[in-house]
Structure 1
Amino acid sequence: MGLYFYQTDIGKIGIAEQSGSITNLYFAEDPVPQDSDLCETPILKEAAQQLYAYLSGTIEEFNLPLAPAGTVFMKQVWASLCEIPYSKTASYKEIAVRVGNPKAARAVGLANNRNPIPIFIPCHRVVGANGSLTGYRGGLDLKQRLLIMEQRKAKIKADRDSI
């Protein structure tokens, strides 16, 4: 596994890849595997460029090969998270319905919690049924910051498009 660290507006971020696909994103306080090769591969460089562009508001979607490790159910949840539009949110229950298991809101929460590639798989867009912010591996402050950034950028774009 290749791993490289980047300094971003939201702190130091580690991005890992294996066989040409992104497998993990690490926040500064996350433990990282000690057996990783510290090297910047072309796909890691591309992932970092897209992350910088997302954080600056110039892109809304990532176009990267992702290979998160997890159960079939987790992968269904993560695929559903990628369908939540930029600047929008969905509840755990809404995601459970989308994956065909309306009573699995808690299991969706667990899958969300175990998302190995946050931001690229936008688990920050999942909120409680009442719209409240709930757990996020990068911390609730970062979750709120990402959501506010997306909403501001979307509003600016909508305002510009209406002129």
Structure 2
Amino acid sequence: MDKPEKNEECGCSRRAFIEKTIKGAGGLLFAASSLPMLAGCSDDSGSPVSPGGGGGSPVTVDLSQSQFASLASPGGSAALGANSLDSSGILIYRESESVFKAFSRRCTHSGCTINPFSGGISRCDCHGSQFSTSGSVVTGPANRALGQYTVNREGNILTIS
């Protein structure tokens, strides 16, 4: 059998070169696959995050529109998609006849979009975090409350800012 060839630049055999290349590629693959896990490592301050990501213009909602029929009575919830105020969208919750709350739909764990409230809980499908109708964390891995907006009502119009 012939003697293994040595690469003159690195001074190693073809076999050693291939082994090092495969190990290096494996290490890179492992590192790249670990990034999503590291993304969940967030600030442990426990304080609510500031909502936003949009341009900051107030958003109006006409409660007489059929898409907001779920807000006709207390306990109802509706979701808005990305808008001028929040690039993740806004969750609206009717707490009582006269009180509406609005939260960012951006999960405070890893930034996924959370679902409308159901049974008093809003859930993030990415990692299972759950939030109460006050915006506080019920179940992690999220550890900070949802960002909350101010809601003003005039007749059937809600202005969220």
Q: Provide TM-score, normalisation by structure 1.
A: 0.24
- Could you say which structure has the higher helix fraction? 1
Larger radius of gyration: 2
